[in-house]
Each structure stands twice: as C-alpha cells, then as structure tokens.
Amino acid sequence: MSAEVKSSSVDPADADTAFLFGDGAGAVVVRAESGPDQQTQGVLGIRLYADGGRHNLIHIAAGGSRNRATVAAIQANEHKIRMEGGPLFRLAVRKLEQAIRDILKEFGVGLDDIAQILLHQANGRILSCLTERLGVSASKVCSVIERYGNTSSASLPIALDHAVRNGNVHEGDVVLLGSFGGGITWAAGLVKW
C-alpha cells in the first residue's frame, strides 16, 4: 500500500522535476495458495538493495527529522525534491538490470517465462532503456508514466492494476517487479499471479 502526494514536494521552477512527478495511491494484497497446476501462487521472491552513499542523487534536504523545515529552509526551497538526473538515470538502469538478472537466475526463471514486467515508473527513458537492455518487447513492459507521471512508491501498485485490468496478467502468470528510489534503494521481485 502506498499513497504519494508528490505535488507538495515538487518545485514548479525546477526543470528537472516539475514535469515528472504525479500524485497517486495503490494497494495490492497477495497471498500464497495452490493454483490450478497445484503449484504455489504468490510472492516467489524479493531482493532488496541499498546504497546510502548516493542519497544525494535524489533527496529532499529539509522537512524530515534530521533537518526540520524551518522558515529559512522553506525560503531556500530545501523542502522540495532535488535530483541529479543524468547520474541517477545511469545508476537506476545499471542497478535495476543487475537486480532483475540476479533474481531471474536465482529462481531459474527466464525472461520468456515472464508474462509482464512491472517497473517503477520513474520516467519513460528508464523504461525504454531497460526494455532494450533486457531484450524484451515493449508490450511486455507495463508503462503508465505518460498517464500518471512518477507517483513514487505508488507506481508499482498502479502499474499492476493497469496490467491486470488490461488483460496482460492472468492466473498462473509470472510477473517480474523492479523498483528504484531515494536513499538510494532498489529491488526486484517475482510473483506468480
């Protein structure tokens, strides 16, 4: 479950972030059960990663417990999202691709076995680049970025809902999840629907 109101933390004068983020919410309940083939359905595995040394690539300097949102901080727009787009893009693509390849290898699943790939909807360039680097068809990668923007942690539940409603995910399908975010954190997961 996630709800994000990114519009409150975006500086309209910041050309790197103003057009990118959107507000959104989503929730997913997944439970393990035996499917029609008597194999377990549900979360097959999740792998989480973090690199706090690169937190400065996307951050909000003030407004948290470490640096309160003082009048001076607000006047300096330190309570707004700041990011270094180029380095963040390169890191996101590299780390997500590696996490995806690692979890597929660990569980003995090939990209041909995946019905739908759901990635954090950071921006269209990251989705396109990962689609190309993974060597999969664009139809296999759910994209809702153009409709909702980057809804941060709500983007995967929103993308999953979109994929299910559009008939791209069916009972028994294996779905690949990939996410990347502030901190810096990233993850990959496999779900049998």
- pLDDT per residue as tens digits for the range 61-108: 898 888 888 999 989 988 888 889 899 999 999 999 999 999 999 999
Cα–Cα distance measured from residue 184 to residue 110, given in angstroms and rounded to the nearest whole number: 27
- Vertex 29: Cα angle to 24 and 33 (nearest 5): 155
Report all structural domains of the chain as residue ranges with CATH numbers, in order of start.
34-59+83-192 (3.40.47.10)
HSE-CB for 12 with a 13 A CA cutoff:
2
Cα–Cα distance measured from residue 22 to residue 155, given in angstroms and rounded to the nearest whole number: 10
Q: H helices of the chain, where?
A: 71-75, 85-107, 124-134, 145-148, 155-165
Q: Give pLDDT, residue 1.
A: 81
Could you list the pLDDT tens digit for every one of the 193 residues in the chain? Answer: 888 787 778 888 887 777 778 888 888 877 777 766 656 789 999 999 999 999 999 988 898 888 888 999 989 988 888 889 899 999 999 999 999 999 999 999 999 999 999 999 999 999 999 999 999 999 999 999 999 988 888 999 999 999 999 999 999 999 999 999 989 999 999 999 9
Q: Give pLDDT, residue 113.
A: 98
